[in-house]
Chain A
Amino acid sequence: MVALLLALQLRTITIDQRLAADAHVRVGDTVVVSATPGAGGDSVVLAAIIGRRADPSEIARSDYRVHLHLDQLQRLVGYGDRVDRFAIATHGTPAADSAVRMINDAAFGFRAYRSRDIAVETSATFAVVSRFHRAIGVITIVASAVFLLCILLLKVDERRRDVAALRLLGISRRSVMLTVVLEAAFVSVIGSGVGVVMGWVTSLAVNWHYQARYQTPLRFALVTSDIVIFAVTLSLVLGIVAGALAARRLVRTHPLVLLGR
């Protein structure tokens, strides 16, 4: 009962998951907070543990987050009745725009920003990194596309005996072309499907690993519908082009030459 009364008088704080894990504390625990390590401070009750947001800017931050009541924080740090920044919650974009305009017009020394603008500014680095990754991705895709094209050409070329036999049996050039192209397209679609599934499984593994490592819900690897459509389309186009090129070359060669005679 005494403990309960004591707890009722204590202020509350929240901390982030990483600090809770490192300090081995749980919700309801009483801890002491102070401005400097070892100095006397306030006993407070841990009211909540906060998970990290899916924010790339938080990934590399090694500091802990502790939320205190403002007056207690001011008293502990001896900073007085001053703040560096504060946030104003509004209802909807027009209200936010209006608030920004009013503050910037009225308050000298203050500068108000929309949270969206701050997010854009602070994530500029990540946008550059993202573009860099996209460039690497495009180079990889182009290089692998050329490689796949060559492989497909070689694989179709391996069918020269089949094509020769078909031609000798009286199968028309058109039918042979159509067969080879359809087969190449089918193999390409199946291949891209397998690739998409592999990519999706890999993204799950990558996310699982890095989310655990950085204790963040941020998704590091994404397989979006756009990516799937792009992969299947590219593969299909490559398959058809490679199939058509190789088949064209094969049907234009005399079947006896294809058979090596």
Chain B
Amino acid sequence: MSALVRARDVRRDYPLEREAVHALRGVSLEVEKGEYLAIVGPSGCGKSSLLNLLGAIDAPTSGTIEIEGRNVGTLGDREVTDFRLRHIGFVFQRFYLLPILSARENVELPMAEAGVSAAERRERSTELLRYVDLADRVKHRPAQLSGGEQQRVAIARALANRPSLLLADEPTGELDAKTGQEIISLFGRLHADGTTVVVVTHDENLARAARRVVHMRDGVIVQDEVPGG
């Protein structure tokens, strides 16, 4: 396997009035293609900050982040936005589906932005919603879906432009245990089908399902393990 993501000595400081908060204090990490990685740690340890950097949402104060060989920290706003659109899929804790759009329209949204034709959008959104077991919910709006169903739509949306990297920030955080387990199974299926998945979570079950677990504390990686490995 080759490295899809390379973070080298990454630091991220957030300047406040009196003193800066050092969210990341020199993190280096490589994620291989097809890997299923969970980042865990107590609140405030820097795991979400790291995820934001890996997803080119934020830029490091120092150090470099390379995704598919591109240093995303040096890209301008327009370039980095387009990079996210085409190469990275995001799943959020609170789903963030657009309430006025149907499940299908939510899934088609990133494709429309990427210039995918209407026919292909329809075909691909049907395929994705079937993949997440929501073939019978394509016309439903988010308010008509359960939390688990909304998260599955969000996962389908994240996969819309066939990203090379799927990032998830506490994807089971808003769900009950049973529904959370369904999402964990879905991530397992995505990994089995070759998707590179990085999740940040407090959910032990989700972390246990990952093939590799990175533990963080106080802005640094304190353990990088392959459970059962």
Residues of A at the B interface (CB closer than 8 Å) are 161-162, 164-173, 175, 255-256, 261
Q: Which residue of A162, A170, A173, A256 is within 8 Å of B96 (Cβ)?
A: A162
Which secondary structure characterizes the binding site on chain A? helix
B113: interface (CB < 8 Å): yes
B99 to chain A, nearest CB (A): 8
Residues of A within 8 A of B96 (CB): 161-162, 164-165, 168
Contact B78–A169 (Cβ < 8 Å): no
Residue of A nearest to B80 (CB): A170
Residues of A within 8 A of B82 (CB): 170, 172
What is the CA–CA distance of A170 and B90 in the complex, to the nearest angstrom? 10
What is the CA–CA distance of A167 and B58 in the complex, to the nearest angstrom? 12
- In addition to A161-B96, A170-B81, A171-B81, 7 A-B residue pairs with Cβ atoms within 8 Å of each other are A162-B98, A169-B113, A170-B83, A170-B85, A170-B86, A170-B114, A172-B81
28 contacts between A and B (CB under 8 A): A161-B94, A162-B96, A162-B98, A162-B99, A165-B92, A165-B96, A165-B98, A166-B98, A166-B109, A168-B57, A169-B84, A169-B85, A169-B90, A169-B158, A170-B81, A170-B83, A170-B84, A170-B86, A170-B110, A171-B109, A171-B110, A171-B113, A172-B82, A173-B77, A256-B52, A256-B57, A256-B58, A261-B48
A232 to chain B, nearest CB (A): 22
Shortest 7 CB-CB contacts between residues of A and residues of B: A170-B85, A165-B96, A170-B84, A171-B113, A169-B110, A168-B90, A170-B81
Residues of B within 8 A of A166 (CB): 98, 109
Q: Which of B141-168 contact A (CB under 8 A)?
A: 157-158, 161
Residue of B nearest to A261 (CB): B48
B213: interface (CB < 8 Å): no
Residues of A within 8 A of B90 (CB): 168-169
What is the CA–CA distance of A255 and B90 in the complex, to the nearest angstrom? 13
A185 to chain B, nearest CB (A): 15
What is the CA–CA distance of A80 and B99 in the complex, to the nearest angstrom? 85
- Beta-carbon contacts of B46-79 to A below 8 Å, as 1s and 0s? 0010001001011000000000000000000110
A252 to chain B, nearest CB (A): 10
A160 to chain B, nearest CB (A): 11
Residues of B within 8 A of A162 (CB): 96, 98-99
Contact A172–B58 (Cβ < 8 Å): no
Counting chain B residues whose Cβ lies within 8 A of the other chain, the interface size class is 20 to 34
Residues of B at the A interface (CB closer than 8 Å) are 48, 52, 55, 57-58, 77-78, 81-86, 88, 90, 92, 94, 96, 98-99, 109-110, 113-114, 157-158, 161
Residues of B within 8 A of A261 (CB): 48
Residues of B within 8 A of A168 (CB): 55, 57, 84, 90, 92, 96
Contact B52–A170 (Cβ < 8 Å): no
Residues of A within 8 A of B88 (CB): 170
Known: A162-B98, A175-B113, A261-B48. A169 touches B157 (CB 8 A): yes
B124 to chain A, nearest CB (A): 15
Q: Which residue of A164, A165, A167, A256 is within 8 Å of B81 (Cβ)?
A: A167
Tell which of A161, A170, A261 has the most Cβ of chain B within 10 Å.
A170
What is the CA–CA distance of A172 and B161 in the complex, to the nearest angstrom? 15
Residue of A nearest to B113 (CB): A171
Residues of A within 8 A of B84 (CB): 168-170
What is the CA–CA distance of A256 and B92 in the complex, to the nearest angstrom? 12
What is the CA–CA distance of A184 and B167 in the complex, to the nearest angstrom? 32
Residues of A within 8 A of B158 (CB): 169
Residues of A within 8 A of B86 (CB): 170
What is the CA–CA distance of A168 and B92 in the complex, to the nearest angstrom? 10
Contact B109–A169 (Cβ < 8 Å): yes
B153 to chain A, nearest CB (A): 13
Contact A170–B57 (Cβ < 8 Å): no
Residues of B within 8 A of A256 (CB): 52, 57-58
What is the CA–CA distance of A165 and B142 in the complex, to the nearest angstrom? 15
Residues of B within 8 A of A172 (CB): 78, 81-82, 113
Contact A255–B78 (Cβ < 8 Å): no
A66 to chain B, nearest CB (A): 67
